[in-house]
Structure 1
Amino acid sequence: MIGDANGSSLIEIDDQEEVEDPFLAFIEYARAVISPEDDRIEDPTTEASGPGWGWIASRILKTCTAYSSGVTAAILLSDLSQAWHEQNKPGMSKKKPELIDQLKKSHRRRRLANTVTIDSIHEKNFLSMNSVLEAVIVNADVLPGTNIFMLTLGDFWSSNTIDLYLHRRYYELVETANGILRKGREVLITGCYLRTAREGCGTPRLLPTEYLVILLDEDADDDTILIGTLFYSDTFSSVSLDAFNNGTSYSLYARIESIGPLESELEFSTAHRRQISLVDCDGVRLKFILWGEQVILANLMSVGTTLGLERPYISSLDVSAIEGKDEFCLEYGSATHLYLVPSILQEERVCVSLTQNQCQGSKLLGSVGVSQVTLPRDAEGSIDFSNYPFRTNITDIRDKTTGISLYGVVTEILSDPNARGVVFSLKIEDATGAIWAKLHFTSTWSLGRVGHGHVVYVSGLSCKTTNDCRLEVLWYEKDEKATFINLSCLPAFLASSCLHRISTLSQISKQRNPAINICRVKLGEIGQCQNIHTRLSHSVCGQFIDEESSSSSSHGGNLHCSFCRVSCNSRAGSEVVRSFHIMITLADEETKLYVWCTGQSASAILQISPDEFCELPEDDQLIYPSSLENNEWFLVTLANSGSRNLGSGHRPSHETEATCWEITRALKI
């Protein structure tokens, strides 16, 4: 089944025996190290306890991006182990408050993104402002000789506890005998400052924070009574701006329908703003606005949960500069208390497809005999593959899934001029098939140079079935978990022997499956009569600017990038750059290969920048190739940019049929 880029249909290809990919092999090795044999899945219906495939792959590539000079297996394993240990730290002490052990049995909600453990706070002696504490009140006391309340907090993942000075806006909730902030109450906290322990005495404590949300349980009798007493008398329809201005207060109860992106550029203010859309039991909608430092409260909320707002501030839309048909919106005022009824974590058993036995990653699968795993499901019914323990192959993609990570090769790129916003479609292929993915960018293409044959890793993909029964794979740059890494252009891969295997030129010429090809080669002749050519390229995407546009404008007028479909600002000197465009012969002990290159790889081979080359006299430019040492050895990354049918999309930017191999990275050795 073959579809167009807009339909994003799944494209089936013939099954081929996949040659072991060192990068994929290292991911499986790292998972085996982090999750010892006795900690892995034994029950086929049990949720995966170790790190997911995507989590490991993302962490490895994040480290490689940070260390461009290369990494070792020891560095990667140390970073992975430390990150996983901090995320799932068992605790420093075997003794945990009995209260927390009892509550943990009914703990069925999803862990928030920025959650940190109390154990990690003690170990690092550090806490960032946007960190989240999912805590249980172990004790609430007044400090002797003062009127200051101190809460002792624990969590489900730590053995330690930590003390929090309670902010005075919450004193009314703890002062009475039946105060809601009492022993056993779960709370979500952010925006905390840590008062570190002094040398030789004291313990770390959390300073007061305004950003605390109280969790309620609709199945608990006390909370059911509280919800009925506090919230059920008011609805969105009963709210009146005039009544509020005359002293009326409201307590509102509604489901979080959406959490808008952070807005930072407002016409009338430099403050950040976050917009949360609420819908009450009658289906009436209102906006809840967070301003400035308040935006970190959104870290405590998630779509599908129910939010209770006691005494929210009510502001007119004109004052808040919010567009909408409503007369007013809700804000987090100085007297507002927030309550949250978290949605129960829904899960679904997912069968592990047979492709896992045919492709890389089957070693771990076969060692534990897993036939299905349990994955969380969100409020819309989509299954979250963020912690799927195995690599997701393209033929495994199904309707209503999120958090998908794909590793494959780009075989076609198309821009969509008719789409709203900046949208590009990429066809990504692995050993099991190929699929179109729509990439939605916040403003413009921001991935740098991505070409045909480049091996990429993409996370944060989602999939749904369209009205015409096609699978549509989507990626949004603004999503927190969305990443796109071009492994073919990643400098660390050349210098990280643990992640690659050096192949011969003859081996890669016969290879059919997507892979990162790294070869040890020596340089031969530079093509095109020993001339070195420079061309103008668009710095945003790395693609060459149209020859007709550049020649007519002489780098002084309006230049056009056909890839991005935009005019380039040459006068600013930031969008248009000069780049090499060369063809060259590579050789190893067995064979020769004619290739092309541009950008960093061409500069590394020629050992001069394009601007420096253009400043040379014309005679020096002509003889420059002969001045290079013959038979210099390089480590190069090669991408097959022309071996597939590229359709009517963008042709390879070298525009030469004689060669289909591109040097994407080069390192002199």
Structure 2
Amino acid sequence: MKKPHFNPQLHTIADAEISAMEIDPTEQENVQEEEADPFLKFIDYAKSVLSPDYDIEQTEEQSNVPGWSWIVSRILKICIAYSSGVTTAILLSDLSQAWSEQNRSGAQKKRPECINQLAKMHKRVKLPNTVTIDAIYEKNFLSLSSVIEAVIVDAFVLPGTNIYILTLGDFWSSNTIDLYLHRRYYSLADPNCGILKKGREIFLTGCYLRTSTAGSVHSRLLPTEYIVTLLNEDLDDDAMLIGAQFCSDSFSSISLDAFNKGVSYSLYARIESIGSLEIQDSIQRKQIILVDDDGIRLKFLLWGDQVLLANCLSVGSMLALDRPFIASLESFNEFSLEYGSETQLYMVPLLHHEEQVSVALTQSRYQGSKLLKASEASQGPQFSQVTLPCNSLGSIDFSNYPFRPLVTDLRDKMTGISLYGTITDIKREQSSSQTIFSMRVKETTGSIWAKLHFVSSWSFGRLGLGHTVYISGLTCTKKKNNRLEVLWFEDSTGSLFVNLSCLPALLNSYCLQKLSRLSELSDAMCSTYICQIWLEQIPFVTTRYSHVLCGHYVNKTSSGAYECNFCCCSCDSEVARAFHLKVNVADESANISAWCTGHAATELLQISPDEFDELPEEEQYMYPMSIQHEHERFTVALVNCKRQSNVSDDTLAQETDSMNWEITRALKCE
């Protein structure tokens, strides 16, 4: 049997030159700016609350520490849910509850001994949809798409019946729960020759929960067809089972004629990829690509409710299919595998190897890791170690990295990276038939280009130069020309993009921002400023059509069609009227000129673009004057939208009319 080859590489900064990075010569000034960033300060504070005993000098001995990106993602999701604003209490309460549920280990001494023994060898990462048994009892609810990564604690037949019951536990819970076993698995639960016995690990999904009633003391799980039995190649019995049952057939030995005559197959292959959910003829479908030992690829298709099974599978794991259904494909006389009425699945899960990453002990707590060159280690500070999971290809997963990753941290074979910075350039790649945008992100240590792969079309809403963003789920790969390529895929697990400059909750969430005076705004610094202002003068108001998906203005061609220069596509059915507004704003310290569009302009003018356009021309002229004389105060988010690079594509710069400041969000003060 062939196993995936693992050849870990020492993960240091001593890779070859990476030309995609642009190091900022004003790093020290930017570091001082971001050390004062209240959003970053709150993340640091939240981390200290969740892990009060954390000590960077003992990083390698502390695994129960929330990752920096986990905290940021959670905070931003709360802000999106509470668009009217959040408080410290709301954020810390939600963070504490989520962190407690994710790392639940209550009363571990009460766990069955068979689970304690397996826990010593447990090197898997939780599947994305995994729920714990303790959480099921607490919430008294179980989603059909949830996965239970269970260990069989006991298997027995209900007295007076032939109904099999499995008592299940897991590695994170002190409770156990009973499952009524589906009859398609009864042969596996046979006490004489079955493998569903005490100590066996299984994954199950598509479960219904029968909650406790007056006549029933405990909740139980109703039968589910979707169970994956885990095997361990290091155990003699499992290795013999794999060798005897699954290694005689291969993809090349499959014959449709033989299958139609009643021949069954038992196959063993590696999961190469798990596709996204598709709809074909009004039926859900998921396509999984399998590769056998001979390198032959075959599709394994799941239909309808069967797509839930994909939640139990992981890329890189070995899948054993007993008696799969062989389906003929119309094109090229091909065939695929399907989950039939007699199919049973076994899996040897990919064990996540781990790699140690050096962390400078004297780092600024707001700066991130600052991974130094090996040659500089003797001259620089002392180092600690952070242990991170590493896959069979040598890529290290930084999704649970306890510090903020920076541009200078990025190296070959990194996944799960998050960046927090400002946008200095965006453009669509027109040479590709896919929807791919290149975006340059700048922060304290420099800037880097990232390629964003969208499922169908741009989905971030309005995004402009100078906007502060958080993006997670990035991967880094070094190309043949020694250039680092940073990629992001919209449909990948852990992918998130949030534009903080346009986030409504930021304007009145005082724990995440501080009020700045207009005199404190600096062209040299990249930041989103929150200010309280009044409208001193409105010299220019007009309405234009904008692309609904991206918020940027469109042009009308000679044929009368609308085209979006930002998305580089026609958008006749996706346009809406929007303001293009220039204003002079002031506070007690200074006044500046700025421009805005979208929601910010509507809030400042207190009228919608369509309503304004319907006003008579004389009223359109007088309306801005009546607004500015009221001297009402607004809380606004201001960004420096001046282009900071010399490029030929001036699509975004043209919108600003050479103005340095954009109001990205506005809220009328009560």
TM-score exceeds 0.5: yes
Q: How many residues align?
A: 636
- Is the contact between residue 48 and residue 389 of structure 1 (CA under 8 Å) also seen in structure 2? no
In the TM superposition, residue 147 of structure 1 has moved relative to its aligned partner by 0.7
Residues 1:540 and 2:549 aligned together: yes
Q: Structure 2: how far apart are the matches of 1:374 and 1:137?
A: 30
Number of the residue aligned with 2:162? 147
Number of the residue aligned with 2:113? 98
Number of the residue aligned with 1:615? 614
Provide closer, same or farther for how the CA distance between residues 53 and 299 of structure 1 changes in structure 2, counting only shifts above 3 A.
same
Residues 1:349 and 2:348 aligned together: no
1:343-365 residue CA offsets vs partner (Å, 9 max, x unmatched) = 221111111258943844589xx
Residues 1:598 and 2:597 aligned together: yes
Q: Which one of the candidate residues 69, 72, 82 is aligned to 1:54?
A: 69
Residues 1:339 and 2:370 aligned together: no
- Is the contact between residue 145 and residue 308 of structure 2 (CA under 8 Å) also seen in structure 1? yes
Q: Structure 1: how far apart are the matches of 2:360 and 2:424?
A: 25
Number of the residue aligned with 2:414? 401
Residues 1:76 and 2:75 aligned together: no
Residues 1:9 and 2:20 aligned together: yes
Number of the residue aligned with 1:3? none
Letter in 2 for 1:129: L
Q: Structure 1: how far apart are the matches of 2:369 and 2:21?
A: 23
- Is the contact between residue 430 and residue 513 of structure 1 (CA under 8 Å) also seen in structure 2? no
In the TM superposition, residue 309 of structure 1 has moved relative to its aligned partner by 0.7
Q: Structure 2: how far apart are the matches of 1:311 and 1:559?
A: 55
Q: Structure 2: how far apart are the matches of 1:652 and 1:274?
A: 39
Give secondary structure in 2 for the equivalent of 1:90. Answer: coil
Kindly report which structure 2 residues correspond to 1:190-209, keeping only aligned pairs within 5 A, or say none: 190-199=205-214, 201-209=216-224
Provide closer, same or farther for how the CA distance between residues 445 and 354 of structure 1 changes in structure 2, counting only shifts above 3 A.
farther
- Is the contact between residue 641 and residue 652 of structure 1 (CA under 8 Å) also seen in structure 2? no
1:600-626 residue CA offsets vs partner (Å, 9 max, x unmatched) = 111101110011111111111111112
Letter in 2 for 1:616: L
- Is the contact between residue 436 and residue 453 of structure 2 (CA under 8 Å) also seen in structure 1? yes
Give secondary structure in 2 for the equivalent of 1:115. Answer: coil
Residues 1:273 and 2:285 aligned together: yes
In the TM superposition, residue 16 of structure 1 has moved relative to its aligned partner by 2.1
- Is the contact between residue 255 and residue 278 of structure 1 (CA under 8 Å) also seen in structure 2? yes
Give secondary structure in 2 for the equivalent of 1:638. Answer: strand
Give secondary structure in 1 for the equivalent of 2:630. Answer: coil
Q: Structure 1: how far apart are the matches of 2:547 and 2:565?
A: 10
Q: Structure 1: how far apart are the matches of 2:526 and 2:172?
A: 41
Q: Structure 1: how far apart are the matches of 2:38 and 2:223?
A: 50
Q: Which one of the candidate residues 6, 27, 38 is aligned to 1:22?
A: 38
Q: Structure 2: how far apart are the matches of 1:362 and 1:656?
A: 36
- Is the contact between residue 127 and residue 194 of structure 1 (CA under 8 Å) also seen in structure 2? yes
**Alignment RMSD (CA, Å):** 2.1
1:404-424 residue CA offsets vs partner (Å, 9 max, x unmatched) = 100000001111110230111
In the TM superposition, residue 35 of structure 1 has moved relative to its aligned partner by 1.6
In the TM superposition, residue 36 of structure 1 has moved relative to its aligned partner by 2.3
Letter in 1 for 2:71: I
Letter in 2 for 1:242: D
- The answer for unaligned runs of 5 or more in structure 1 is 1-6
In the TM superposition, residue 395 of structure 1 has moved relative to its aligned partner by 0.9
Q: Which one of the candidate residues 506, 515, 518 is aligned to 2:530?
A: 518
Give secondary structure in 1 for the equivalent of 2:505. Answer: helix
Q: Which one of the candidate residues 529, 535, 539 is aligned to 1:527?
A: 539
Q: Structure 1: how far apart are the matches of 2:215 and 2:264?
A: 49
1:527-560 residue CA offsets vs partner (Å, 9 max, x unmatched) = 24xxx211111111111113xx27x67xxx3111
Q: Structure 2: how far apart are the matches of 1:138 and 1:358?
A: 44
Q: Structure 1: how far apart are the matches of 2:641 and 2:95?
A: 33
- Is the contact between residue 8 and residue 473 of structure 1 (CA under 8 Å) also seen in structure 2? no
**4+ aligned runs moved over 6 Å, structure 1:** none
- Is the contact between residue 424 and residue 643 of structure 2 (CA under 8 Å) also seen in structure 1? no
Residues 1:415 and 2:431 aligned together: no
Give secondary structure in 2 for the equivalent of 1:543. Answer: coil
1:410-441 residue CA offsets vs partner (Å, 9 max, x unmatched) = 00111111023011111110010000011111
In the TM superposition, residue 301 of structure 1 has moved relative to its aligned partner by 1.0
1:170-221 residue CA offsets vs partner (Å, 9 max, x unmatched) = 0011124231001110101111000011148421100000000111111111
1:202-254 residue CA offsets vs partner (Å, 9 max, x unmatched) = 21100000000111111111111211221122122221111111111111111
Q: Structure 2: how far apart are the matches of 1:499 and 1:66?
A: 15
1:443-466 residue CA offsets vs partner (Å, 9 max, x unmatched) = 111111100000011111111011
Q: Structure 2: how far apart are the matches of 1:145 and 1:36?
A: 54
Letter in 2 for 1:483: L
Number of the residue aligned with 1:34? 50
Q: Structure 2: how far apart are the matches of 1:362 and 1:523?
A: 43
In the TM superposition, residue 283 of structure 1 has moved relative to its aligned partner by 2.0
Q: Structure 2: how far apart are the matches of 1:462 and 1:658?
A: 35
- The answer for unaligned runs of 5 or more in structure 2 is 1-17, 371-380
Number of the residue aligned with 1:311? 323
Number of the residue aligned with 1:441? 454
Residues 1:559 and 2:574 aligned together: no
Residues 1:472 and 2:485 aligned together: yes
Provide closer, same or farther for how the CA distance between residues 326 and 60 of structure 1 changes in structure 2, counting only shifts above 3 A.
farther
- Is the contact between residue 642 and residue 658 of structure 2 (CA under 8 Å) also seen in structure 1? no
Letter in 2 for 1:35: S
Number of the residue aligned with 1:376? 389
In the TM superposition, residue 394 of structure 1 has moved relative to its aligned partner by 0.9
Provide closer, same or farther for how the CA distance between residues 116 and 541 of structure 1 changes in structure 2, counting only shifts above 3 A.
same
Residues 1:330 and 2:345 aligned together: no
> Quick check: 373-382 or 87-96, which moved more?
87-96
Q: Structure 1: how far apart are the matches of 2:410 and 2:525?
A: 19
Number of the residue aligned with 2:644? 644
Q: Structure 1: how far apart are the matches of 2:587 and 2:442?
A: 29
- Is the contact between residue 412 and residue 650 of structure 1 (CA under 8 Å) also seen in structure 2? no
TM-score normalised over the length of structure 2: 0.91
Residues 1:299 and 2:306 aligned together: no
Give secondary structure in 1 for the equivalent of 2:522. Answer: helix
Q: Structure 1: how far apart are the matches of 2:658 and 2:259?
A: 75
1:457-481 residue CA offsets vs partner (Å, 9 max, x unmatched) = 1111111011111011111112132
Letter in 2 for 1:513: M
- Is the contact between residue 402 and residue 462 of structure 1 (CA under 8 Å) also seen in structure 2? yes
Provide closer, same or farther for how the CA distance between residues 419 and 13 of structure 1 changes in structure 2, counting only shifts above 3 A.
same
Q: Which one of the candidate residues 118, 130, 137 is aligned to 2:145?
A: 130
Residues 1:250 and 2:265 aligned together: yes
Q: Structure 1: how far apart are the matches of 2:480 and 2:333?
A: 32
In the TM superposition, residue 594 of structure 1 has moved relative to its aligned partner by 0.8
Q: Structure 1: how far apart are the matches of 2:526 and 2:60?
A: 33
Give secondary structure in 2 for the equivalent of 1:242. Answer: helix
Number of the residue aligned with 1:451? 464
Number of the residue aligned with 2:662? 662
Give secondary structure in 2 for the equivalent of 1:403. Answer: strand
Letter in 1 for 2:584: T
- Is the contact between residue 462 and residue 475 of structure 1 (CA under 8 Å) also seen in structure 2? yes
Q: Which one of the candidate residues 207, 210, 217 is aligned to 2:225?
A: 210
Q: Which one of the candidate residues 493, 502, 506 is aligned to 2:515?
A: 502
- The share of aligned pairs that are identical, in percent, is 57
Provide closer, same or farther for how the CA distance between residues 172 and 86 of structure 1 changes in structure 2, counting only shifts above 3 A.
same
Q: Structure 1: how far apart are the matches of 2:166 and 2:19?
A: 53
- Is the contact between residue 399 and residue 416 of structure 2 (CA under 8 Å) also seen in structure 1? yes
- Is the contact between residue 16 and residue 513 of structure 1 (CA under 8 Å) also seen in structure 2? no
Letter in 2 for 1:461: L
Give secondary structure in 2 for the equivalent of 1:254. Answer: strand
Provide closer, same or farther for how the CA distance between residues 503 and 369 of structure 1 changes in structure 2, counting only shifts above 3 A.
farther
TM-score normalised over the length of structure 1: 0.92
Q: Structure 2: how far apart are the matches of 1:47 and 1:131?
A: 29
Q: Structure 2: how far apart are the matches of 1:283 and 1:658?
A: 57
Give secondary structure in 2 for the equivalent of 1:343. Answer: coil
- Is the contact between residue 431 and residue 514 of structure 1 (CA under 8 Å) also seen in structure 2? no
Q: Structure 2: how far apart are the matches of 1:369 and 1:30?
A: 26
Q: Structure 2: how far apart are the matches of 1:309 and 1:411?
A: 50
- Is the contact between residue 548 and residue 576 of structure 2 (CA under 8 Å) also seen in structure 1? yes
Give secondary structure in 1 for the equivalent of 2:194. Answer: coil
In the TM superposition, residue 66 of structure 1 has moved relative to its aligned partner by 1.1
Letter in 2 for 1:221: D
Kindly report which structure 2 residues correspond to 1:216-231, keeping only aligned pairs within 5 A, or say none: 216-231=231-246
